[in-house]
């Protein structure tokens, strides 16, 4: 692709110490993620998917090799700069939704903008637009407990996109959903990612995901296939 990658891993190695053992989670991974694409990360359990997501989400650092975000090497950023980069450019979606149960749907979606210090009037307009885009405008004042699993994941999609991130990271986002709902949620992620120009990096071994992905990357034993 001629476009510049939004995130790039170059010859990345990552290992974890487990007692006396060193577990090689990634062994020389090169990966580019481009703006707006839906990238499916597949591979058996233990192949390194979550480790890649943690590196792309700036939650963890590589042992060797480089992680570049928007052309900047994260090795040159201190922890505070990394936190800001993560807050402003990356959205996260989880298998178990991770909504705040005492906040309404609108408050959950608003929270990242509140933390960023966006004005109240702008927040209200952006939250309303995001909730409409995921088909939940009529549920704005409900608590998450009153929603189905699929609706909760829609709230999580709106919350991830409200900051206008360049990247959204999702670890097994359909694992708690029935197959019909999983189809709908994946369609929505694809549509919303393309509409907002946000790259979605989704780890899953769900065939539904690979059918919808713009690109599929397969991992085995910490190496890309």
Binding positions for ligand ADP, rule: CB under 6 A:
16, 18, 23, 25, 43, 45-51
Residue 133 CB: number of other CB atoms within 10 A?
Answer: 18
Q: How far is CA 141 from the centre of its chain?
A: 25
Residue 123 beta carbon to ligand ADP: minimum distance, rounded to whole angstroms:
34
Residue 61 beta carbon to ligand ADP: minimum distance, rounded to whole angstroms:
14
**Helices 79-89 & 105-116, crossing angle to 10 degrees?**
140
Residue 218 beta carbon to ligand ADP: minimum distance, rounded to whole angstroms:
11
Residue 23 beta carbon to ligand ADP: minimum distance, rounded to whole angstroms:
4
| Closest to ligand ADP by CB, 32 or 50 | 50
Integer Cα distance of 154 and 106 in angstroms? 12
| Closest to ligand ADP by CB, 43 or 91 | 43
| Closest to ligand ADP by CB, 85 or 95 | 95
Residue 103 beta carbon to ligand ADP: minimum distance, rounded to whole angstroms:
29
Q: How many helices (H) and strands (E) does the chain have?
A: 7, 10
Do the beta carbons of residue 105 and residue 140 sit within 8 Å? yes
Integer Cα distance of 159 and 32 in angstroms? 25
| Closest to ligand ADP by CB, 52 or 133 | 52
| Closest to ligand ADP by CB, 196 or 206 | 206
Integer Cα distance of 113 and 107 in angstroms? 10
């Amino acid at each position: 692709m001629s476009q510049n990658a939004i995130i790039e891993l170059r010859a990345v190695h990552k290992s974890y110490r487990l007692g006396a053992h060193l577990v090689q989670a990634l062994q020389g991974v090169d990966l580019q993620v481009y703006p707006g694409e839906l990238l499916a990360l597949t591979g058996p359990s233990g192949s390194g998917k979550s480790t890649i997501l943690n590196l792309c989400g700036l939650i963890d650092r590589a042992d060797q090799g480089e992680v570049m975000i928007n052309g900047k090497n994260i090795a040159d950023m201190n922890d505070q700069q990394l936190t800001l980069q993560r807050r402003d450019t990356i959205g996260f979606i989880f298998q178990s939704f991770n909504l705040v149960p005492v906040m309404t749907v609108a408050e959950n979606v608003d929270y990242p903008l509140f933390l960023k210090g966006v004005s109240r009037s702008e927040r209200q307009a952006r939250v309303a637009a995001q909730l409409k885009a995921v088909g939940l405008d009529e549920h704005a004042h409900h608590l998450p407990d009153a929603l189905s699993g699929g609706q909760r994941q829609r709230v999580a999609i709106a919350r991830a996109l409200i900051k206008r991130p360049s990247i959204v990271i999702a670890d097994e986002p359909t694992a708690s959903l029935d197959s019909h709902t999983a189809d709908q949620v994946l369609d929505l992620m694809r549509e919303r990612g393309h509409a907002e120009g946000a790259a979605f990096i989704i780890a899953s071994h769900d065939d539904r995901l690979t059918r919808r992905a713009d690109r599929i990357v397969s991992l085995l034993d910490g190496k890309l296939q």
